[in-house]
Amino acid sequence: MSEFIHAKSIKNNEVRFSDALFYNFLRLITVLIIILFASVFVFLYRSSEPLFLEQGWSFFKETTWSPTTDTYGVLAFVYGTLVSSFIALLFAVPVSMGSALFLTQLCPRFLVSPIRSIIELLAAIPSVVYGLWGIFVLAPFIKNYVQPVLSGLTPGLPFFQGPPFGLGLFTAGLILAIMIIPTITTISIEIFQAVPKLYKEGAKALGATDWEAIKIAVIKPGMAGVLAAITLGLGRAMGETMAVTMVIGNRADISSSLFSPAATMASVIANEYAEAGSNLHSASLTAVGFTLLLISMLVNFGARYIIKKFRGPI
């Protein structure tokens, strides 16, 4: 008997030692991630410091971006990033929600996984390929059909006016929408699948129609998760560089027309970093990166706050 207890206690010690090793390993990795984030933050700030010392905080209030005269303002790019991402959400959210609901609630079972893999395949297309497709297919289409029709329909509104280039904010937003649809859709599918079936049955048993049952017992309980999925999509849209740079037209300008060329924070960095001549120019580009990081963080915190408000027990 005593032997048995002895053996057991040794074994316990062994387990505790390996546990400690394991925990510390996890701790180390987590700390590394935090250090990594902090160092990126510090690097971005330190490399943009020359600009802030030279210009003060006018960088955040200025809309002009002119490397030739050494005037640097980030607002035009903030506008480009926010508006193109907003357009992306405008198209991507209804499509993603709709397809996620269809696949989880209505679609015949044997069709679900083939359709789902096609949607996931969209995420596997390299963004430069999206960019090419944008230049050769989407941009001409928008130039020849979409903008003329929209501007014809709304003669008073400035949003759709201006010369038809094909390349611009709207095209960039559409490309972004296609790129974030797989993200939002697949996560939403997971979320809707995770909502227990007994809620839907409960709604049905109360005399709810299909739509009402889905609304009460699937969408509402899943809302917090769907918002998280949308946030992830938004984060991707705000940071996406290659495809956007190829189709947005790259002009540092805040125009009232959604069809005019613009630039985003990511696209201006990609475009100008290689040939940034002066010290100040490259400092301003890192400052743009710094701003992008700040805004992404802000959006993430904001989204988290909203999600918290929606969070149910799931």
The residues in 117-146 that bind other proteins, with binding defined as CB under 8 A, are none
Decide: is 155 part of the binding site for other proteins (CB under 8 A). no
**Residue 78, SS3?**
helix
CB 67 within 8 A of CB 277: yes
| Of residues 173 and 221, the one with the C-beta less far from other proteins | 221
d(CA 157, CA 146): 15
d(CA 33, CA 188): 27
Decide: is 220 part of the binding site for other proteins (CB under 8 A). yes
Quick one: which of 128, 133, 123 has its CA closest to 242? 128
Shortest CB 211 distance to other proteins, Å: 10
Decide: is 111 part of the binding site for other proteins (CB under 8 A). no
Burial of 27 (0-12, 13-18, 19+ CB in 10 A): exposed
Among 134, 173, 221, 233, binds other proteins (CB under 8 A): 221
Decide: is 252 part of the binding site for other proteins (CB under 8 A). no
| Of residues 101 and 174, the one with the C-beta less far from other proteins | 101
Among 216, 293, 299, 303, binds other proteins (CB under 8 A): 216
Which helix (H) or strand (E) segment is 224 a member of? Answer: helix 220-239
Decide: is 194 part of the binding site for other proteins (CB under 8 A). no
The two tokens of residue 195 are 């909502």
Among 206, 256, 301, 308, binds other proteins (CB under 8 A): 206
Q: What angle do CA 71, 75, 78 make, to 5 degrees?
A: 135
* Dihedral sign for Cα atoms in the order 265, 267, 268, 274: positive
Q: What 8-state DSSP symbol labels residue 144?
A: I
Decide: is 217 part of the binding site for other proteins (CB under 8 A). yes
Among 14, 19, 70, 201, binds other proteins (CB under 8 A): 201
Decide: is 209 part of the binding site for other proteins (CB under 8 A). yes
Q: Give 66's strand partners.
A: 71
The two tokens of residue 292 are 């992008």
Q: How many residues bind other proteins (CB under 8 A)?
A: 23
Decide: is 223 part of the binding site for other proteins (CB under 8 A). yes
Decide: is 107 part of the binding site for other proteins (CB under 8 A). no
Work out the widest C-alpha separation in the chain, in whole angstroms.
93
Decide: is 202 part of the binding site for other proteins (CB under 8 A). yes
Shortest CB 312 distance to other proteins, Å: 4
Residue given tokens 């600009």 in the structure block: 51
Shortest CB 205 distance to other proteins, Å: 4
Shortest CB 186 distance to other proteins, Å: 23
The two tokens of residue 46 are 């330190």
Decide: is 307 part of the binding site for other proteins (CB under 8 A). no
**Residue 65, SS3?**
strand
Shortest CB 209 distance to other proteins, Å: 6
CB 67 within 8 A of CB 285: no
Shortest CB 117 distance to other proteins, Å: 21
Question: Binding segment for other proteins among 81-89, 141-149, 212-220, 257-265 (CB under 8 A)?
Answer: 212-220
**Binding stretches for other proteins (CB under 8 A):** 109, 196, 198-199, 201-209, 212, 216-217, 220-221, 223, 310, 312-314
